[in-house]
Structure 1
Amino acid sequence: MVLLALTILSIIGVLVFLIKLGILAQHRVHIKRGQYSRDDWPSVTIVIPARNEEHNLKISLGSILEQDYPVDKLEVIVVDDFSEDQTRQVAQQMMSQSQFNAQCISGRPLPKGWIGKSNACMAGALQANGEYIFFIDADTQSDKKMLKSIIDFTLSKEIDLLSFNPRQLMLSASEKTLLPGLFLSIASFMKFHESNDPDKEEAIANGQAMLFKTSAYKAVEGHTVVASEISEDLAFAKAMKERKFNIFWAFADDLMSTRMYTSAAEIWHGFSKNMNRIVEVNNFASAITLLSKSFFIAWSTPLLLLLSWLSYNSEPTQIALFVVGINLLMQLILLITYGVLATQLFVPIIYAIFVPFGITLQGLLVINSYRLSKQKSISWKGRVVE
């Protein structure tokens, strides 16, 4: 009877998790490639903050300089944020061959209370002349039709801040093993539909790609409003929405891709800087609760399937067989869900069996992120950011 009770509890928890993911999937908005019919395009300034990005710039900046956009309407600014490699030289060499108005500027000294990335973005924004300012990370790669597609989407919906999720590239075994489950677990905390509803408090943005109407950006004093925020994207979305600007969150798998981290160590270090903020965990009790939840979702079903099978082998009753059957069914449902996830993320389906490890990782990352934030020892790209 104990195993039956635990099985029922596990089913309820897992089903709630799956239902939530199903609702999220229904509310995903995708920006499609090249669906526009306008001739008059607004001027746009693309700002790329870059600190020690000499290798990534060849791809990210290269794809921006190949955009299908009117030459007189696109300005590109790379902000060399005190790089210690050849970032500036690479940017300048590429820009010298561009048809667009493109320049590499020096980042400004870090003011007290500012985080490095926001400061670099602000430095670029101060030089921007476009009707729209588009901040993108240096580790992204864009389709040639990307800019026209998102500008058309933004104009059609009168959006003041458009942010979207690019396709996440996963090439190494570590990425394929850990990231699908981690992304799935993070998604379970997101409320896409509410973020796009002006009457709801939820506000989502992704710092990898944030397109602002310049007048709206200036109205909130630009990155000044998020100067001290590690998760400046989420803070920006919240600040814009609180001030009644129209924000919108979407997906753009066909338009942009990015490879965030290349190894397990990079994944751990990278997500540790802000995971507790992503899921809004502000105290140790909440962190422990989330860790327990992640372990429960990831491992309760396979563990109960094993225990119920052992129980049936020792005492083959009808109830014991029923419990085995229910746990087996739930495990199959989870494997199918994980398989669909792997397919959507362009990961070989065999990696579906590792999704529970990624779900577990999120709980561990929340604990570590919370610990680092309390110790004020979070660092990124050679800088202490808190």
Structure 2
Amino acid sequence: MSPLAWIAIASLAVWGWLLLGQGFFWRTDQRLPPPAGTAPEDWPAVVVVVPARDEAEVLPLSLPSLLAQDYPGRAEVILVDDGSTDGTGTLAEELARCQGGLPLTVSRPGEPEPGWTGKLWALRHGMRLARARGPEFLLLTDADIAHEPDSLRLLVTAATGHRLDLVSQMARLRVTSGWERLIVPAFVYFFCQLYPFRWINRRRPLATAAAGGCVLLRSETAERARVPEAIRQAVIDDVSLARAVRRAGGRVWLGLADRVDSIRPYPRLGDLWRMVSRSAYTQLRHSPLLLVGTVAGLALVYLVPPVALAAGVWAGDARAAWAGGLAWAVMAGTYLPMLRYYRQPAWLAPLLPFTALLYLLMTVDSAVRHHQGRGAAWKGRTYARPEAAPDR
């Protein structure tokens, strides 16, 4: 056989493993667990903590959804204005006066201390204020996340009924523009491939992760895990949070959301590019060796199948063409459930190799930015060498 045929067969073998051996990552059935028994008679107190930096554009759509939560127990919202320059805090107070609903406190802690990322600094301040209220649970949610009225009730029901310490839902991201349709479902697909939800949700987990946009966290477990102090430098804070909870003996659950949506727009390719590249190299632990391995792996898994099919047909190499075509078909088939979840047309599935190429380039760009000292940049702040905080 030709070298191309061998490479195509290797790609097909990898797809066989991904289809059956990677926790069925491609299935989208990991949703909020159904109630276990009856609803709590005495609903636990919850404080919602919202870190917000320059979020005046999205706050009118997201904050009212939190204030309008239909929760039977005691609940309130703390919004931490993280040095905004667009009047985020003032707008939040105005929305609360007009909207009513759950009580709102707006706090302004000032600039982060050295060694803290901005979001975790805001969470630290908000969680300290929340603990003074003595809640059993904290809902950590981003300022661009909109919740259906029963979202908090369903989260608490799942946590109490299944004795979970951290319940996280990956919000359904906005998919409106052409670039969002091409890139956003693949972003979640790749995340599920890296952290299969079924593996995370096992009683004996094989992976650990969370989605930072919506995290219900048991207060006692947060203190035992020293959150957020233990992860104060983390750029990928959601995964770091889940690992800290797991190290403290807590149970973690992660699934796709049906009642929680991200409303932040990413209309242009540049917007999505910055969103991915700001943390891609951090995910690889700033390792050139892991970068090379990731690029090679992406090429083998996603780029080889269409190239082998086209080259095999052109050169009359039947083995390369068949192996490449079959691998491409398996790839597209595993992507279809995610496209259905995002209500996107099936014809986008064969375009996954092109999307993977974009992600490959974003990852390389992330490494270049890191070595240029620009690191992870977000809303005017740059973390040139972000690292997880050491345990003490």
Fold shared per TM-score above 0.5: yes
| Residues 1:178 and 1:99: Cα distance change in structure 2 (over 3 Å) | closer
Q: Deviations over 1:182-217 (max 9, x none)?
A: 332332211433433465563211211111111222
Aligned with residue 59 of structure 1, among 42, 49, 61: 61
- 1:315 match: none
**Matched ranges for 1:60-75 at <5 A:** 60-70=62-72, 73-75=74-76
2:29 corresponds to 1:23: no
**Matched ranges for 1:222-371 at <5 A:** 222-252=227-257, 254-260=258-264, 261-278=266-283, 280-312=284-316, 320-321=317-318, 324-371=321-368
- 1:383 match: 381
The aligned amino acid for 1:362 is Y
| Residues 1:166 and 1:24: Cα distance change in structure 2 (over 3 Å) | same
Q: 1:22 deviation in Å?
A: 6.2
Q: Percent identity?
A: 22
| Residues 1:325 and 1:290: Cα distance change in structure 2 (over 3 Å) | closer
Q: TM-score by structure 1 length? A: 0.89
| Residues 1:13 and 1:281: Cα distance change in structure 2 (over 3 Å) | farther
Q: 1:219 deviation in Å?
A: 2.7
Q: Deviations over 1:78-137 (max 9, x none)?
A: 111111112122201111131322121213331111110000111111211222111101
- Give the 3-state SS of the residue equivalent to 1:126 in structure 2: helix
Q: 1:142 deviation in Å?
A: 0.8
Aligned with residue 121 of structure 1, among 120, 123, 126: 123
Contact 1:44 1:134 in 2 (8 A): yes
Count of matched residue positions in the alignment of Structure 1 and Structure 2:
376
d(CA) in 1 for partners of 2:301 and 2:17? 10
- 1:316 match: none
Contact 2:313 2:321 in 1 (8 A): yes
| Residues 1:240 and 1:373: Cα distance change in structure 2 (over 3 Å) | farther
Contact 2:76 2:102 in 1 (8 A): yes
Contact 2:166 2:251 in 1 (8 A): yes
Q: What are the ranges of 5 or more consecutive residues in structure 2 without an aligned counterpart?
A: 385-392
- 1:41 match: 43
The aligned amino acid for 1:380 is W
Aligned with residue 163 of structure 1, among 168, 175, 187: 168
| Residues 1:262 and 1:302: Cα distance change in structure 2 (over 3 Å) | same
d(CA) in 1 for partners of 2:65 and 2:177? 23
- 1:203 match: 208
Question: CA-atom RMSD, angstroms?
Answer: 2.5
| Residues 1:258 and 1:307: Cα distance change in structure 2 (over 3 Å) | same
| Residues 1:26 and 1:334: Cα distance change in structure 2 (over 3 Å) | closer
| Residues 1:310 and 1:143: Cα distance change in structure 2 (over 3 Å) | same
| Residues 1:327 and 1:363: Cα distance change in structure 2 (over 3 Å) | closer
Larger CA Rg, structure 1 vs 2 = 1
The aligned amino acid for 2:201 is N
| Residues 1:298 and 1:27: Cα distance change in structure 2 (over 3 Å) | closer
**Matched ranges for 1:145-224 at <5 A:** 145-197=150-202, 199-200=204-205, 202-224=207-229
The aligned amino acid for 2:95 is M
Aligned with residue 107 of structure 2, among 81, 101, 105: 105
Contact 1:131 1:214 in 2 (8 A): yes
- 2:146 match: 141
Q: TM-score by structure 2 length? A: 0.87
